[in-house]
Amino acid sequence: MSDAINDEPAPPAFPEDAPLPIDVKKTHVAAEFKHEFPLTTCRIDPTGRFVFAGAEDLNVYRWSLSQKKNESDKPAAKTTFSGHESWVRSMDFSPDGQWLYTGGYDDHIGIWRADDSQPKPVRMIEAHKGWVRWVRVSRDGQLLASCGNDNLVKVWKLPEFELVQQFEGHKRYPYAVDFHPDGKRLVSFDLMGVIKEWDIDSGKELRSMEAKFMWGFDQKFRADMGGARDLRFSPDGKTLAVAGLTDVTNAFAGVHKPMILLVDWDAGKHLQKLKADSYKGMAWGVRFHPEGFLVAVGAPQSGASGVLWFWKPGEDKPFHTVKLSHCGRAVDLTPDATKLAIAQFDGKLTVYQMTEKVAS
Amino acid sequence: MRRDTGCNAIDHAISRRALLAGSAAATAVGVAGKVLPAETKQLKTQQKRILQVFLQGGLSQLESWDPKPGTRYGGPFRAIDTSVPGIRISELLPHIAQRMHHLSIVRSIDIKTNSHQQGRLFMERGRRAGVFPYVGTIAAKYLAPKTASLPGYMHVTTRGLDDNTNAFLPAQFAQLKLPGAAAPENLKHSGKLTADAAKRRNELRRRLSQRFSGKVGQPAFTDSYDSSYTLADKLLAKKGLFEGEPPPKELERYGSHPFGRNCIVARKLLEAGSTCVKVTHHGYDTHAENFNFHLEQLAEFDKTFCMLLDDLHDSGMLESTLVLIMSEFGRTPKINQRYGRDHWGTAWSMALGGCGIKPGVVIGKTNDEGTAVADREVDGRHLFHTYFRALGIDTTDHHDMPGRAIPIGDPSAEAIGELLA
């Protein structure tokens, strides 16, 4: 509303702290944290203070995002979360960022205080018979969903961690789950490209859809290759994004192409199959940016040409691409969506800023 | 498919049967409650034989016999205790873990090649180079009774390579490859040909072959030609082995997948008198998604193999059957960017048991990260000697070939004495 005395718009209260506008084409490395083992996943906590990564040494690590790339010659300080007996490929947080939940290939979900200086698991829950492949906290923080190699999707009440629903129906491993933003529904995606929608209250299966092109049967080796490597609803719940693979020609050599599938959720229709045609490998992560584009990371079949893609829904090709130092295995956004973190095969946890550089 | 934790109702049923098999009242009770055929009873006391399970593509030693959880290259799987105190194997083999007292492990194999073909040939021939007979051919030649009612060396596989398995030995000892559990093609006579006519026709062919062989002087060719008819005849007489669907309970135990069905046929062949039966399980060449694929492949292998092992044990045949679980090599400790492991002949493992093998033994070890053999290095030569010493064959002896004597085993190596019972 205009002011009768001064029609000029009011300047920001603290112009030096005002967020810079997103300019994807100026994406640059803002921080880089190095670990000795390949990383398996990463997440930024909801307060934006920390970035967490799982590693092939069975631990989860935490770095402070306030550390800068060139702050000193010493490696950035990291805090170790040790307690799983296998790899962690999925993590999530309580909405206030106080609690970290880790899904391990040791069948357990770990519950941790996210900002502990000397972290120890508060609880380790045997959640599945077989790998816990995915954990996801509902937007209101009341529930946690998990899926595992017992082919089950489970819903747990927080903070008690009491099992409130168990969904049976996947015939092969469910790889990932996500809550619909309406809080009433849950979606899961399995090895064979089967997508299931579940009603959380009634425990019933609402829908089953297929994305068989994100699965392949290797005739020579008689093996199935597929599954979601990441799964996300758009904030409005209208679109589901699935990161994974397509066009499997040799599963055992990893010969396939990356794919991001967008599903019109209400209509149950495939909106778009995003492929980087000349690129062979896997799409390992995807996020909806609040400004309407998609951020995704990929790893090549061979070589070190990991990639960060920026895609606009409706367009066939990424509108911007950033080459990574090695294979990207997960991506996450900061709460203000100005930065993103990528977990890499070469042990690097790289933080990119999607704005112009600010002089330090 | 969920990971098999090795504790299902059907397995408890097997334990119960095994218990019964130990009682005097149950001595005549064999697998699945059937009365053992007379042929099997005789077999179990007289003939020695080999069951060779080949995990094609290269089983990961770190996901099987030599797990190193929590180390740099250990991967995501844990190690579990076995029925032998002190021996721990991968959690992917829970059924074998319960039966470890029947098996031993060699953890220190270095064959110095990462080639599928060279690795396979070395492990089969016991020679690093040159054309020598395969394990199965040696078994067929030296262990098969002259009156054997089945070909001596049979390979059940859904796909595979055609190898020169018999090398310089007569073709009758070559591998006969069966394309899975189904009856081989063309096993039946043409509808118009009576059994009697077929017999007379075969006799005429045999006489002509003899005359041809004598005149032209190339007996090897006619032997080969002749032996293919002989093998076909033997198979024809046993075609019942391939007919009909296995009983549901058997499929429940072994699995209804191709490997399960192949192992059911393998057991029938061994019970019916075949001297070496090789079963190949495909799908271990995991350059990508090594962990997901080993999870699936080993779940299939572990349970199915153990059902076969139980049946051999319950029928009393295990003590006269050498059981080999082998590959052409192992897989790299280093995990590549596709979560895969690559070819690795430098430090890997196999398991064996049964006839002549001391059970519950671990031979050799690798270093802490599994990147090299740390103790008691062995290769295909030592293993080859060990197999046949266990079966009572003197591998320092020679193949008696016209005009030449060829050592059965490579003279530059010896058997692994600590493994021999």
Distance from CA of B271 to the nearest CA of A (A): 29
Q: pLDDT band for position B40 (50/70/90)? A: low
- B300 in contact with chain A, both atoms CB, cutoff 8 A: no
**Cβ pair B285:A222 closer than 8 A:** no
Task: Tell me whether residues B289 and A301 touch, CB distance under 8 A.
Answer: no
State yes or no: pLDDT of B224 exceeds 70: no
Q: How confident is the model at residue B28 (pLDDT cuts 50, 70, 90)?
A: very low
Q: What six digits make up the tokens of B80?
A: 């579990």
Q: Chain A residues with CB inside 8 Å of B159's CB?
A: 220
Other beta carbons less than 10 A from residue B35's beta carbon? 10
CA distances (Å), A303 to each of A32, A244, A282, B2, B206, in order? 21, 19, 13, 33, 60
> Would you say B266 and B38 are in contact if contact means Cβ atoms under 8 Å apart?
no
> Does the pLDDT at position B380 exceed 60?
yes
pLDDT surpasses 90 at B227: no
Q: Express each pLDDT in A186-203 by its tens digit.
A: 999 999 999 999 999 999
Banded model confidence at residue B195, pLDDT cuts 50, 70, 90: confident
Local confidence band at B31 (pLDDT 50, 70, 90 cut-offs): very low
Q: What's the burial of B195, exposed, middle or buried (CB within 10 Å: 0-12/13-18/19+)?
A: exposed
**Residue B196: band (very low, low, confident or very high) from pLDDT cuts 50, 70, 90:** confident
Laid out side by side, the sheet with A78-81 consists of: A39-44, A50-55, A60-64, A78-81
Residue A223 banded pLDDT, cuts 50, 70, 90 = confident
Among A90, A99, A43, A129, smallest CA distance to A229 is for: A90
- Show residues of chain A in contact with B69, CB under 8 Å: 85-86
Q: Check pLDDT > 80 for residue B384.
A: yes
Report pLDDT for B33. 39
Looking at every residue in chain A, the average pLDDT score rounds to 92
B47-74 pLDDT tens trace: 999 999 999 999 999 999 999 999 999 9
| Contact flag A172-B1 (C-beta cutoff 8 Å) | yes
Report pLDDT for A221. Answer: 80
The shortest CB-CB distance from A254 to any of B57, B297, B338 is to: B338
A-chain residue closest to B287, CA distance:
A253
Nearest CA to B136 out of B105, B100, B163 is that of: B163
With an 8 Å Cβ cutoff, is B70 touching chain A?
yes
**If you average pLDDT over every residue of chain B, what do you get?**
86
Residues of A in contact with B295 (CB under 8 A): 149
Note whether B335 contacts A: Cβ–Cβ < 8 A.
Answer: yes
Tell me the chain A residues in contact with residue B283 when contact means C-beta distances shorter than 8 Å: 221-223, 252
Mean pLDDT throughout B230-246? 78
Per-residue pLDDT band for B43 (boundaries 50, 70, 90) equals: low
Is the confidence at residue B37, as pLDDT, over 70?
Answer: no
Of B158, B287, B296, the CB nearest to A253: B287
Smallest CA–CA distance from A172 into chain B, residue: B1
Predicted confidence at residue B163, as pLDDT, reads 82
- Does the pLDDT of residue B29 top 50, yes or no? no
Token pair 């969920």: residue: B2
With H, G, I as helix, E, B as strand and everything else as coil, classify residue A16: helix
Of B359 and B228, which is predicted with more confidence?
B359
Per-residue pLDDT tens over the stretch A3-50: 344 455 444 444 455 678 999 999 999 999 999 999 999 999 999 999
Question: Taking an 8 Å Cβ-Cβ cutoff, which residues of chain A contact chain B?
Answer: 37-38, 56-58, 85-87, 105-106, 129-131, 149-151, 172-173, 220-225, 251-254, 282, 299-302, 304, 326-327, 345
Q: What percentage of residues in chain B have a pLDDT greater than 70?
A: 83
Tell me which DSSP letter residue B188 carries.
Answer: S
**CB A61, CB A52: distance < 8 Å:** yes
**What pLDDT is attached to residue A4?**
41
Residues whose CB falls within 8 Å of the CB of residue A73, separated by 6 or more in sequence, listed in order? none
Looking at residue A23, its pLDDT comes to: 96
CATH topology of domain A27-353: Methylamine Dehydrogenase; Chain H (2.130.10)
Query: What pLDDT score does A71 carry?
Result: 52
CA A6 from chain center: how many Å? Answer: 46
Higher-confidence position of B358 and B19: B358
For residues A219-243, give the mean pLDDT: 94
Tell me, what's the pLDDT at A184?
96
For the cut 70, the answer to whether the pLDDT of residue B331 exceeds it is yes
The chain A residue lying nearest B289, using CA atoms, is: A252
Q: Is the dihedral of CA A212, A218, A219, A221 positive or negative?
A: negative
B287, A251: Cβ pair inside 8 Å?
Answer: no
Give Rg (Cα) of chain B. 22
Task: Report, as an integer, the average pLDDT of B86-105.
Answer: 98
Does B26 have pLDDT greater than 80?
A: no
Interchain contact B12–A (C-beta under 8 A): no
B296 contacts on A by Cβ (under 8 Å): 223-224
Sign of the torsion angle spanned by Cα atoms B111, B116, B120, B122: negative
A131–B3: do the CB atoms touch at under 8 Å? yes
Q: Spell out which residues of chain B touch residue A85, defining contact as CB-CB under 8 Å.
A: 69-70, 78
Cβ <8 Å between B282 and A106: no
Q: Is the pLDDT of residue B18 over 90?
A: no
Beta strands A328-333 and A339-344: pairing type? antiparallel
Cβ within 8 Å, pair A149-B335: no
For residue A172, is pLDDT > 50? Answer: yes
pLDDT of A86-117, one tens digit each? 999 999 999 999 999 999 999 999 999 999 99
A302 contacts in B (CB within 8 Å)?
A: 337
- Kindly state the average pLDDT of the residues B174-199: 78
Tell me, what's the pLDDT at A10?
47
Q: Do A326 and B3 touch (CB under 8 A)?
A: no
B77 touches A: beta carbon within 8 Å: yes
Q: Per the structure block, which two tokens stand in for B58?
A: 């290269």
pLDDT of residue A153: 98
pLDDT over 60 (residue B342): yes
Region A156-165: mean pLDDT is: 97
Burial (CB count <10 Å: 0-12, 13-18, 19+), residue B407: middle
Does pLDDT of B13 surpass 60? no
Domain boundaries, chain A: 27-353
Tell which B residues from 207 to 246 touch A, by Cβ distance under 8 Å. Answer: none
Candidates A279, A286, A281; CA nearest to A262 is A286
Whether the CB of B72 is below 8 Å from some CB of chain A: the reply is yes
pLDDT band at A219 (very low <50, low <70, confident <90, very high): confident
Beta carbons of B338 and A130 less than 8 Å apart: no
Q: Is B287's CB within 8 Å of A252's CB?
A: yes
Report the C-alpha gap between B236 and B53 in whole angstroms: 25
Flag whether pLDDT at A320 surpasses 50: yes
Give me the pLDDT at residue B188, please: 67
- pLDDT of B203 above 50: yes
Do the chains contact at A130 and B2, CB–CB below 8 Å?
Answer: yes
pLDDT at B32: 38
